[in-house]
């Protein structure tokens, strides 16, 4: 089986946290081919075929990854000095490059990190042209339709009170309706970027909204502030719509954001009955849309976001719980691939 990963440059990957690396490692562990390309290396050739300029990746051996996993385990347990230890050689070598039809791969993984820009949008259309039995995951049409900040509004009973607007006056009025406190964030943000906690006492609120809305030209999503965020937000990983693991992301004492990208720390957690209700409500829709792998963010009893473009959290969950979620993801992908072949 041959896997093509559409990604950011592999040399830029964070070897300690990148979930795509976990998927690549699992494919290599099974003796399957691992290839990579960037969005800019996707094309439609003169015969109308979706093709890619790709490179084959030969991943480092088990000893290297055992050292990496030990550092990750030390980091999530709070052993900061251990997290800084070097592990030596690069995590992969380029074994060869070429151009080929995407249909020649068994699985094409769309794992390009946000932002969701026009290049990403057009890439999903190109990937929609890949014929079966090749499997593209997550489904490219679903990547267009399941807008991560707005998809949750299909389930209003699960979310905090929400407003989407680019009007500063409307956003400020909404803050008052909420009792003087709200969170705003851009529709196309990721990793906690552009997230602000605004209170009635915040004298910079007007300036922040001017900047966030680009003087009324950029939409913001505003939500009721959920105070439980001080204890952390929970990333729950779903495979075929079923929850398979979770990690609590705890904010620093000086932060209101808990994303790992802004310094949040990982803590072991369980999936509550309420969170299983949320998963049961949205899981069937995600599965029907072809979303094999998703990550949802929950604060308190509320669904905040659904991440389908390039969800993370697998490495932290693996380290905390002693599991290997990537194996479940690969199994699910193989089942979908075989179903497309009619096997």
Tell me the torsion sign for CA atoms 158, 164, 170, 175: positive
Does residue 314 register a pLDDT over 80?
yes
Q: Which of 139, 240, 297, 316 is catalytic?
A: 297
Residue 257 annotated to the active site: yes
pLDDT at residue number 186 = 93
Does residue 81 register a pLDDT over 80?
no
Q: Which of 138, 259, 307, 318 is catalytic?
A: 307
260 band by pLDDT with thresholds 50, 70 and 90: low
Tell me the torsion sign for CA atoms 317, 321, 327, 331: negative
Which two three-digit tokens encode residue 231? Answer: 């204890």
The answer to whether the pTM exceeds 0.75 is yes
Q: Which of 25, 175, 234, 235 is catalytic?
A: 235
Distance CA 74, CA 278 (A): 32
Q: 246, 275 in Cβ contact below 8 A? A: yes
Residue 30 annotated to the active site: no
pLDDT at residue number 188 = 83
Residue 185 annotated to the active site: yes
The mean pLDDT of 71-94, rounded to a whole number, is 74
Residue 234 annotated to the active site: no
pLDDT at residue number 87 = 66
92 band by pLDDT with thresholds 50, 70 and 90: very high
258 band by pLDDT with thresholds 50, 70 and 90: low
Residue 177 annotated to the active site: no
b/e 72-83 (16+ beta carbons within 10 angstroms → b): bbbbbeeeeeee
Q: 268, 316 in Cβ contact below 8 A? A: no
Residue 99 annotated to the active site: no
Domains and CATH numbers, the chain: 2-137 (3.40.50.20), 162-225 (3.30.1490.20), 228-333 (3.30.470.20)
Q: For 197-238, how does the pLDDT look when each residue is reduced to its tens digit (9 = 90+)?
A: 999 999 999 999 999 999 999 999 999 999 999 899 999 999
Does residue 82 register a pLDDT over 80?
no
Residue 149 annotated to the active site: yes
Q: For 131-184, how does the pLDDT look when each residue is reduced to its tens digit (9 = 90+)?
A: 999 999 999 999 999 988 899 999 999 999 999 999 999 999 999 999 999 999
């Amino acid at each position: 089986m041959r896997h093509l990963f559409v990604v950011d440059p592999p040399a830029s990957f964070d070897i300690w946290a990148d979930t795509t690396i976990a998927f690549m490692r699992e494919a290599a562990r099974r003796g399957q081919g691992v290839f990579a390309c960037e969005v800019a290396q996707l094309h439609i050739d003169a015969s109308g075929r979706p093709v890619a300029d790709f490179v084959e990746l030969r991943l480092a051996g088990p000893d290297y990854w055992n050292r990496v996993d030990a550092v990750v385990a030390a980091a999530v347990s709070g052993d900061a000095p251990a997290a800084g230890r070097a592990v030596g050689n690069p995590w992969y070598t380029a074994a060869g490059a070429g151009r080929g039809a995407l249909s020649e791969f068994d699985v094409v993984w769309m794992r390009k990190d946000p932002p969701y820009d026009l290049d990403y949008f057009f890439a999903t259309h190109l990937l929609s042209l890949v014929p079966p039995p090749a499997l593209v995951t997550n489904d490219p049409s679903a990547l267009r339709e399941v807008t991560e900040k707005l998809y949750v509004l299909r389930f209003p009973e699960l979310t905090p009170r929400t407003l989407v607007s680019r009007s500063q006056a409307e956003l400020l009025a909404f803050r008052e309706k909420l009792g003087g406190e709200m969170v705003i964030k851009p529709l196309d943000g990721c990793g906690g970027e552009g997230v602000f906690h605004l209170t009635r006492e915040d004298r910079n609120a007007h300036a922040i909204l001017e900047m966030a809305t680009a003087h009324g030209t950029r939409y913001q999503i505003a939500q009721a502030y959920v105070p439980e965020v001080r204890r952390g937000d929970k990333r729950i990983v779903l495979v075929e719509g079923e929850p398979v693991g979770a990690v609590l992301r705890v904010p620093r004492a000086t932060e209101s954001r808990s994303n790992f990208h802004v310094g949040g720390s990982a803590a072991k957690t369980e999936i509550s009955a309420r969170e299983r209700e949320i998963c049961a409500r949205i899981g069937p829709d995600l599965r029907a849309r072809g979303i094999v792998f998703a990550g949802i963010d929950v604060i308190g009893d509320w669904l905040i976001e659904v991440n389908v473009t390039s969800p993370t959290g697998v490495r932290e969950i693996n380290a905390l719980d002693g599991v290997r979620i990537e194996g479940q993801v690969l199994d699910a992908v193989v089942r979908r691939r075989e179903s497309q072949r009619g096997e």
